Structure 1
Amino acid sequence: MSQVHSNLHRNAWSDWWEGTRRTDIWWTLAWFDIVLRYRRSMLGPIWLTLSMGLMIGGMGPLYSSLFGTELSKFFPHLALGIIFWAFFSSVVTDACNAFVGSSNYLKQGYFPISLFVWRSLARNLIQFAHQIVLYIPVAFWAGISLSWTMLLILPAFALLIINAHALGLLLGLVCTRYRDVTQIVTSVMQMLMFLTPVFWLPESLPGRARYVLWNPLAQMLDLLRTPLMGGVAHIHSWLGILVWTAICLTAATVLFSKYRRRVVYWL
């Protein structure tokens, strides 16, 4: 195998960049994943929007009554919480199988492994795009007035993509070597759903229980949801996510540099 195409002769940076720059490949693979999932369906990916809309529409009035909160205040909070949490959960669980699910490609020829992490992330971004549109009618109904603070979602979303890709490399490598970790991650995500303010309001917590807001997913949700509701996220959420990003990038870089060549042998 020539040096140009061999993973063994590339350093970690070159291998990562080779997979990252091939947007034509991983976007196409991601789109085909969606198309194949809804093959022979009349509505296709529109089912993603409809199913999420039914969930939000059914849970909004119910949980608003249970928590004794005004629906116009609670409904946008719940809608964004469910939409973003669905994205978080799907990104994390799919990252565990990024390489295992692409074993047919990796076993047949040289592909930079970062390409398949981008493929998994792109697939989830396509699904997210079908679901976030549901917030538009909710925002109009609730009378949310957006201001310049909405632009804060751009750096927040950039941090989300950086963390998602770093976590994808990290979990992809670990779960390919140790398959039981996938089940552990799935169980942890189910638990974190109830420790993250998806269905409840953070201000309803008593003072001694506010430690649950140190959860990185709760901080990321705050950064993404608050600007879309016309507010500004807490500074501790920015600081917490920046620290978490540094940890994720460091761990992903170390594992990727050391173990990327072993992925094919672990499949």
Structure 2
Amino acid sequence: MTEIAHSNLHRTAWGDWWEGTRRTDIWWTLAWFDIVLRYRRSMLGPLWLTLSMGAMVGGMGPLYSALFGTELSKFFPHLALGIIFWTFFSSIVMDSCNAFINSGNYLKQGYFPISLFVWRAMARNLIQFAHHIVLYIPVAIWAGISLKMHALLFLPAFALFLINAHMLGLVLGLVCTRYRDVAQIVTSIMQMLMFLTPVFWLPESLPGRGRYILWNPLAQMLDLLRAPLMGNLPDIHNWTGILIWTVVNLAAASWLFSKYRRRVVYWL
């Protein structure tokens, strides 16, 4: 066992990351167990996720449509997907900040590749997202949205999101474990970005000089995911922007992971 532990600790950064990534049996089971524990002794269990999100979307749709003077059949799908995806985004970011801190018991008791716990946080949020996205089906049927072939663009967009989420999870997990105040800063930034991202409002309602707000990478990612599901084509500039952010995230995560991954256990 000593030789195995010694060998594991001296793996390359790539080998360390791959060891955590390939153990889907561990991180998926831990994620599912997290959901089960959260809703233990509850009659509806994870269905509370769907009901609470449905109540929020159903209550806000008519209200915000009237406030913005927009036809409900056009605004309701936009708002529903905006809230569903933003909840997904913000949950992953917040969980990434505490991915290693909340897994300290595992990391202190034995060797585990730290990428495993980022995947755990992502898997937990994917389960919650699966409960939320079903709400869009009745909304789309009611609004008469017909999906076309370019709806398949959702798949590469979602793959890009998962890549960026994992890389950002590694970065935030490392930084927030070392500097605990960063998690509070990230929370404040996400609250601000919620209003700078077209979650509750339509991008075309912005004045000419205000459209720089749409350079926000979360706004670009939201367009790539939402537009295909509404029967529209995402803006080509958003594809370019997200590809650039993907390269930046990969570079930052690779550098931090290779340099600091062995120090995480000492920061807990």
State how far apart, in whole Å, the 2-side matches of 1:173 and 1:79 are. Answer: 33
How far did 1:125 drift? 0.2
How far did 1:240 drift? 0.2
Report the 3-state secondary structure (helix = DSSP H, G, I; strand = E; otherwise coil) of the residue aligned with 2:5.
coil
* Aligned positions, number: 267
How far did 1:39 drift? 0.5
How far did 1:9 drift? 1.1
Q: Which residue in 2 is equivalent to 1:80?
A: 81
Gaps of 5+ in 1: none
State how far apart, in whole Å, the 1-side matches of 2:30 and 2:150 are. Answer: 35
Q: Which residue in 2 is equivalent to 1:254?
A: 255
Q: Is 1:4–2:1 an aligned residue pair?
A: no
Which residues of 2 match residues 48-197 of structure 1 at below 5 A? 48-197=49-198
Q: Which residue in 1 is equivalent to 2:29?
A: 28
Paired AA for residue 11 in structure 2: R
Report the 3-state secondary structure (helix = DSSP H, G, I; strand = E; otherwise coil) of the residue aligned with 2:254.
helix
How far did 1:3 drift? 4.2
State how far apart, in whole Å, the 2-side matches of 1:25 and 1:108 are. Answer: 16
How far did 1:5 drift? 3.2
State how far apart, in whole Å, the 2-side matches of 1:198 and 1:249 are. Answer: 26
- Contact 1:3–1:9 (CA under 8 A) maintained in structure 2: no
Report the 3-state secondary structure (helix = DSSP H, G, I; strand = E; otherwise coil) of the residue aligned with 1:69.
coil
Q: Which residue in 1 is equivalent to 2:214?
A: 213
Deviations 1:45-99 (A, max 9, x none): 0000000000000000000000000000000000000000000000001000000
| Identity rate, percent | 82
Measured on the aligned residues, the alpha-carbon RMSD in Å equals 0.7
State how far apart, in whole Å, the 1-side matches of 2:79 and 2:117 are. Answer: 32
- Contact 1:146–1:229 (CA under 8 A) maintained in structure 2: yes
Report the 3-state secondary structure (helix = DSSP H, G, I; strand = E; otherwise coil) of the residue aligned with 1:24.
helix
State how far apart, in whole Å, the 2-side matches of 1:83 and 1:73 are. Answer: 17
Q: Which residue in 1 is equivalent to 2:234?
A: 233
Q: Which residue in 2 is equivalent to 1:14?
A: 15
CA gap of 1:255–1:162, structure 2 versus 1, over 3 A, is same
How far did 1:4 drift? 3.2
State how far apart, in whole Å, the 2-side matches of 1:65 and 1:31 are. Answer: 40
Q: How high is the TM-score relative to the length of structure 1?
A: 0.99
State how far apart, in whole Å, the 2-side matches of 1:5 and 1:202 are. Answer: 53
- Contact 1:216–1:241 (CA under 8 A) maintained in structure 2: yes
Deviations 1:77-124 (A, max 9, x none): 000000000000000010000000000000000000000000000000
Report the 3-state secondary structure (helix = DSSP H, G, I; strand = E; otherwise coil) of the residue aligned with 2:45.
coil
How far did 1:194 drift? 0.0
State how far apart, in whole Å, the 1-side matches of 2:4 and 2:151 are. Answer: 45
Moved segments of 4+, more than 2 Å: 1-8
State how far apart, in whole Å, the 1-side matches of 2:110 and 2:145 are. Answer: 51
